[in-house]
């Protein structure tokens, strides 16, 4: 049985939630492998809207095991709130349907405070962080001073972890004009939430290995997008984890050979939240029209997304880095009614045309898009469930996207509804 990894191939917000939910019907296990509760996924199931930030998208499916892997940074209180909210919508959640890796690092209140303080004091170039403590939590992980889920099982171990953590953070806080952390209050809050988290804690690497050996299909779910990858994204305007497909292995404890098919989620145009370069951005009526039609506001933050034409250069680059075997093209219906469409096919930099986004930040900021113009279509693609339902020019657009990025379309999404999806190639069949 094939195991599938799903990653965003742009700057996030590509519609991964719907695609993962659609694929989860064919999977037995859905494993989230990186990011935190800054990842917003909106699912529409039989008219019911579910907004997820931390839990795997498969959680709304009965009979599936959802997993939060060690590559995720987990806010205990955000976790409790999201579980309670979904239960209020009728979703069944228990340790039989949801597991948390024992070695998952925790996001603590001090991480969010540090995140917001540094961003507000940054006079050089704001990153555009959500202020939820994701970055500082990852910093503590690699700094070997984090509190992990397993540490909550023993008060003495927790004391040692907090001592090391606060030695670092109290010094940072003094420099930012913040008061020292209330150690007793923090420990008390962690001990209070500990029984809730520990009920879901498991050696996830072992559970996944057993499920794989038994022939179960595993769906690896990424957050954000490849252009926000800390190594290959538009640095420093990136997230603090690896968002490319390679993280599926280290973020769950499975070897790279466990992934049989990587599916890249790609929006039919381009959006970005926050600061950073965006070569194909449209600061005009067309950009506004894309944003209005696509309802481009962040699920978690509510921030308005920047919009632009489809950038084939970027998607070709991210598909290569993640080893994408096929893409799921989403929000094609947003382009309905445009008389003319443009696709970015290259960049101009210092008078020369290039076919990739350079690494240097100042060069990324200076590249100019080179566009190819295509005829739009007057018909509608909204709700289409077969190629026959699509206008001829829409099919031409999809085929041209495939040519330019060097990767075939496996799925085509034509609305937020789960069933409004055209299956071209089943990733689980590979």
For residues 106 and 99, what is the distance between their CA atoms, to the nearest angstrom?
A: 15
For residue 7, report the phi and psi dihedrals to the nearest 5 degrees.
-135, 150
Q: List the strands of the sheet with 409-413, edge to edge.
A: 201-202, 98-101, 65-68, 29-32, 218-221, 4-8, 261-267, 326-330, 409-413, 421-423
- Residue 200 gets which letter from DSSP? T
Peptide bond into 274 cis (omega under 30): no
Residue 228, helix vs strand vs coil: helix
Residue 183, helix vs strand vs coil: helix
Evaluate whether 250 touches 243 at the Cβ level (below 8 Å): no
Concatenate the DSSP letters of all residues of 82-142 into one string: HHHHHHHTT----TTTEEEETTPBBP-HHHHHHHHHHHHH--S------SSSHHHHHHHHH
Burial 31-58 (b: 16+ CB within 10 A, else e): bbbbbbbbbbbbbbbeeeebebbbbbbb
Evaluate whether 268 touches 14 at the Cβ level (below 8 Å): no
Taking the CA atoms of 279, 282, 283 and 288 in sequence, report the sign of the dihedral they define: negative
Give the chain's length: 430
Active site positions, annotated: 13, 41
For residue 28, report the phi and psi dihedrals to the nearest 5 degrees.
-105, -30
What is the 3-state secondary structure of 241-297?
Answer: CCCCCCHHHHCCCCCHHHCCEEEEEEECCEEECCCCCCCCECCCHHHHHHHHHCCCE
């Amino acid at each position: 049985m094939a195991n599938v990894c799903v990653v965003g191939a742009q700057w996030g917000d590509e519609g991964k939630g719907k695609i993962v939910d659609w694929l989860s019907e064919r999977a037995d296990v859905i494993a989230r492998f990186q990011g935190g509760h800054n990842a917003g996924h909106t699912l529409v199931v039989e008219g019911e809207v579910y907004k997820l930030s931390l839990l795997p998208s498969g959680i709304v499916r009965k009979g599936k095991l959802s997993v939060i892997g060690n590559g995720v940074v987990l806010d205990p209180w955000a976790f409790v709130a999201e579980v309670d909210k979904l239960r209020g919508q009728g979703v069944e959640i228990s340790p039989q349907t949801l597991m948390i890796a024992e070695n998952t690092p925790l996001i603590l209140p001090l991480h969010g405070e540090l995140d917001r303080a540094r961003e507000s004091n940054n006079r050089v170039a704001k990153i555009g962080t959500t202020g939820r403590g994701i970055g500082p939590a990852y910093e503590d992980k690699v700094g070997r001073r984090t509190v992990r889920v397993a540490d909550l099982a023993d008060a003495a171990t927790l004391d040692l972890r907090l001592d090391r953590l606060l030695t670092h953070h109290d010094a940072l806080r003094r420099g930012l004009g913040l008061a020292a952390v209330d150690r007793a209050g923090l420990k008390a809050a962690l001990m209070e939430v500990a029984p809730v988290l520990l009920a879901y804690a498991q050696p996830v690497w072992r559970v996944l290995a057993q499920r794989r050996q038994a022939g179960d299909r595993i769906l690896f779910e990424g957050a954000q997008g490849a252009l926000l990858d800390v190594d290959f994204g538009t640095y420093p305007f990136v997230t603090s984890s690896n968002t490319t497909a390679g993280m599926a292995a280290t973020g769950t404890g499975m070897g790279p050979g466990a992934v049989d098919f990587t599916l890249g989620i790609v929006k039919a145009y381009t959006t970005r939240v926050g600061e950073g370069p965006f070569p194909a951005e449209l600061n005009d009526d067309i950009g506004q029209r894309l944003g209005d039609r696509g309802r481009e506001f962040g699920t978690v933050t509510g921030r308005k997304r920047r919009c632009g034409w489809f950038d084939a250069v970027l998607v070709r680059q991210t598909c290569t880095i993640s080893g994408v075997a096929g893409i799921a093209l989403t929000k094609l219906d947003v382009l309905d009614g445009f008389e003319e469409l443009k696709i970015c096919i290259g960049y101009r930099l210092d008078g020369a045309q290039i076919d990739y986004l350079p690494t240097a930040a100042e060069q990324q900021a200076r590249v100019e898009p080179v566009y190819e113009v295509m005829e739009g279509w007057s018909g509608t693609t909204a709700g289409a469930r077969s190629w026959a339902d699509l206008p001829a020019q829409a099919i031409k657009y999809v085929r041209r996207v495939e040519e330019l990025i060097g990767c075939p379309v496996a799925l085509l999404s034509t609305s937020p509804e789960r069933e409004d999806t055209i299956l071209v190639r089943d990733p689980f069949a590979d």
